[in-house]
Structure 1
Amino acid sequence: MMNTTHQSFRENGYAVFPSALSDAELSMLRQSCQTLLDEPIDDGGHSGKHKIGLGSARRFLAHRHEEFPELEAFLLGNTIAKINETCLGDSGTLFNEQFVVKGSGTGASFAWHQDGAYVGFDHKAYLTVWIALDDTTEENGCVYVLPRNLDESPGLDPHKWLEESNELNGYSGEDPGKAMTCPAGTIVAFSSETLHRSGPNTTDKPRRAYICQYSVETIIDPETGKPKRYAKKVGNSVAA
């Protein structure tokens, strides 16, 4: 099963894991997200291509896992390790994490992009683990992916910064992509080289997701010689 899923991941650039979370894990992620949502809204970034928030329409609640012991344990625990082993062939090293919340009624879309385009320097491809905290539909802003054979078409495509919407765009074709509509608790894992986007949230409830990203080796920023964000090996959980 693992080999079949790994092969499919390499051939398509993504894999779907239904019912991947326990009820307790889903509840913990939702509670952590709500705690951060209760804080004043910021822009979701610092400057340039990392300033991608749009107020209540699109919030990025990033890099706060160390304040939540159960969240950090989840990020470095068995559920994630299994996903990483299947897709990467390695338990993985935590690189980045953030909650993404599209506000009700006016939740902003997100343009086609490869996650690796936001890193800013050459690096090996990594894995994005996208976790649905709510049932996701086309109406509330689900993720769409463009299947990509990672062995036949490796690397990053050209991206353009869109000032009006605070985001990179890496695809202007007509393919709408495959809609990742799924129940809460589903994980969609895709390569940092896989093009994906998300639609607007037109419903009367927020659409919440959690994104954690993992590399096989530590991603080092060449300007500082230090890890770009985190370098925490999965399996080194800090809590039971």
Structure 2
Amino acid sequence: MGVRTHTALVAAGLSLLLPGAGHLYLGERRRAAIMLAVWAALVLSALALVASGRHPELGRTLLAVALLANAAVLAFRLFAIVDAGRGALASRLAAAALSAIVVAAALPHVAAAYVAVRGYGVLDSVFADEEPSDVLGGNSLFLAFQPRGRPPLDLDPPALRTRRSTAGAAPAPFRGAAKPLADSAKILADEEAALEHPWVTILLLGSDEGPRQAGDRT
């Protein structure tokens, strides 16, 4: 491995740490200035994207933009590394070392893209416009209850209504404690009418944030 090849590998390694540093090491100041300026613009854009993450209503859009930004940063870093280490392509051993540097630069971006894709999938499934048909037979997690008619308006005083309702009424039979989850399977299997147990189990997902306060609730 010659001196030129060794210098190219050092430049590629410096570009791995900071795009443009390898070109500055090679004495290519103009090229290094362009690389550093582009890198500074990308870093500022990434910081702006992170600051926008405080708006949960933009979750899907921000994840999509983050994927594109991650791909752009990866492409720029790989270009800076290969361009600074182009002198190492003359030797097979040096080319293999340059390939290892390229892989080391790509791994964090691949991991970040994987996390972003999984996060987008979670948002797309949890906050879907319509529930998948294999969850329930209908298009919603909520059972479609038949509307009930409103009782007639009673203008009598509360005491009179209480005495009238208890005057000749038989005591209501004790049915035991309500167990919503025990009969939910029967309702979903159409073995029992939903109107007999008018309850809905709801999963709430959200977060709260305020001055000097930030937290998540599930």
The reply to whether TM is greater than 0.5 is no
Higher relative CO (Cα under 8 Å, sequence separation at least 6) belongs to: 1
* Higher strand content, 1 or 2: 1
* Higher helix content, 1 or 2: 2
Larger Rg: 2
Using the size of structure 1 for normalisation, the TM-score is 0.21
Using the size of structure 2 for normalisation, the TM-score is 0.23
